[in-house]
């Protein structure tokens, strides 16, 4: 008679060598995340945050920053996580760029190149764990 053994049965060679999601290994763990956000008020004034522990917290911090700069009715317009971001300002437009796994320098250069020669950096930073 042949017996079937399973990896999680005591005494089998695979006992405690196969991890199941319920054991806290594998795909049940999420990497740490840091969040950033950009908020805009009625007068187009911007607020900025790169140190949120959640998307909501980053948004709230950006709204607070926007309000502190004298704007009203500020609301979140962009969020990003685990990446660097840059807000560049040109004569007629504001551009936002966030690139995961890129250095701040590379994101800045890309944003300025896409915006044009008359643009300048308004906000920049990284929301990284």
> How do residues 12-52 score in pLDDT, each as one tens digit?
666 666 555 555 555 566 778 999 999 999 988 999 999 99
pLDDT at 86: 93
Average pLDDT, the chain: 84
pLDDT at 108: 92
Q: How confident is the model at residue 69 (pLDDT cuts 50, 70, 90)?
A: very high
pTM tops 0.85: no
Residue 6 predicted with pLDDT over 70: no
Residue 123 predicted with pLDDT over 80: yes
pLDDT at 10: 67
CA of 40: how far to CAs of 81, 115, 121, in Å?
19, 19, 16
Q: How confident is the model at residue 4 (pLDDT cuts 50, 70, 90)?
A: low
Q: What angle do CA 94, 99, 104 make, to 5 degrees?
A: 85
């Amino acid at each position: 008679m042949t017996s079937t053994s399973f990896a999680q049965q005591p005494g089998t060679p695979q006992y405690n060598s196969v991890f199941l999601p319920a054991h806290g290994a594998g795909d049940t763990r999420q990497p740490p995340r840091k969040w950033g956000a950009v908020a805009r008020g009625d007068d187009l004034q911007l607020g900025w945050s790169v140190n949120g522990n959640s998307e909501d917290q980053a948004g709230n911090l950006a709204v607070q920053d926007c309000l502190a700069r004298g704007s009203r009715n500020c609301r979140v317009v962009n969020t990003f996580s685990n990446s660097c971001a840059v807000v560049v300002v040109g004569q007629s437009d504001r551009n936002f760029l966030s690139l995961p796994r890129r250095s701040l320098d590379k994101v800045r250069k890309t944003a300025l190149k896409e915006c044009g020669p008359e643009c300048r950096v308004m906000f920049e930073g990284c929301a990284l764990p």
